[in-house]
Amino acid sequence: MATMRTADERPQTYSSPAILDRRRRILEETRQVIAEKGVSALSMNDIGQRAGVAKRTLYNAFQTRERMIAAAIQEYFDEYVGRISFASEPGTLSHNLERIISVIQRNRKIPNYIRAIMALYFSPEADDDIWEAMHSLGMRHNREWIQNLAEKKQLQPWINVETFVDDLVRFEYATINEWARQRIADDAIILRLIITYLTLVLGAVKGAARKEVESLLKDLSERGTEALPMKKR
């Protein structure tokens, strides 16, 4: 006797509206649970119930709990950055600073979620899939600018692009983690992060890039956040 399939188990193409809507619900509920309870409290049973799908469906879509969490973090970040209205060209310092500032402004509205994913990133038991998903986000956006500097011969000869980008991401996340733990005040995080980020970059660049960074650091010391490409949120 044939077994009746539920709506979630019927064959559907990956691009169908039903599949896309189901994926959206799953990842949104995953992010919501992370913000409410933290990652350790997240279970496939809970997400299935909240999203209205079978537990088997979650495993078919993501294979593991960790990959589901990684997808939730990665897609949320990509969606947010995709909505930023950048005033500067990709691959420039200004573009990268706009990205950092906009993300920090967003983070200040969702502190519980950011605290939870930063704790996960820095945990010695962090799952490789989740850690890599988070780290690759920062690598991708920092790499475009640093690679552009390398092609223009504006990096110091001792700088390796991938290693330096990796260091920038670790620094950026460490500072955000300090803010998430309330060791850096809300009204200080943007200026603190940008100034120390640029100070780190200053030792790696030369030529026109060094002059640009030095000029911006001087401007920041005199005008504070007014010198930054910030938008009101």
Q: What is the pLDDT of residues 105-158, one digit of tens each?
A: 999 999 988 988 898 889 888 788 888 888 988 898 899 999 999 999 999 999
User: Are 90 and 37 in a shared domain?
Assistant: no
Same domain, 78 and 137: yes
Say whether both 110 and 37 belong to one domain. Answer: no
What pTM was computed for the model? 0.81
Same domain, residue pair 117 and 47: no
Kindly state whether residues 62 and 108 are assigned to the same domain. Answer: no
User: What whole-number distance in Å separates Cα of residue 53 and Cα of residue 35?
Assistant: 21
Q: Contact, 42 vs 55, CB < 8 A?
A: no
Q: Is residue 130 within 8 Å of residue 73, measured between CB atoms?
A: yes
Total domains in the fold of the chain = 2
95 and 135 in a single domain? The answer is yes
Question: Are 212 and 184 contained in the same domain?
Answer: yes
Output the pLDDT for position 12: 43
Per the structure, the complete domain to which residue 172 belongs is given by: 74-227
Residues 185 and 171 in one domain: yes
Query: Residue 226 has what DSSP assignment?
Result: G
Per the DSSP assignment, residues forming a β-bridge with 155 are: 205
* 3 belongs to a structural domain: no
Is position 105 within any domain? yes
Structure-token pair, residue 14: 């990956």
Residues 6 or more apart in contact with residue 193 via CB below 8 angstroms: 100, 104, 172, 175, 176
Residues 92 and 178 in one domain: yes
Residue 232 domain-assigned? no
| pLDDT for residue 3 | 41
- Is the per-residue pLDDT at 10 higher than 80? no
Burial of 165 (0-12, 13-18, 19+ CB in 10 A): buried
% of the chain surpassing 90 pLDDT: 42
> Does the pLDDT of residue 229 top 80, yes or no?
no
From 31, 50, 72, the end of a domain falls on: 72
13 pLDDT band, cuts 50/70/90, is: very low
Number of CB atoms found within 10 A of residue 202's CB: 15
* 136-150 burial code (b ≥16 CB/10 A, e <16): ebbbebbbbbbebbe
64 and 148 share a domain?
A: no
Q: Is 177 or 72 the better-scoring residue by pLDDT?
A: 177
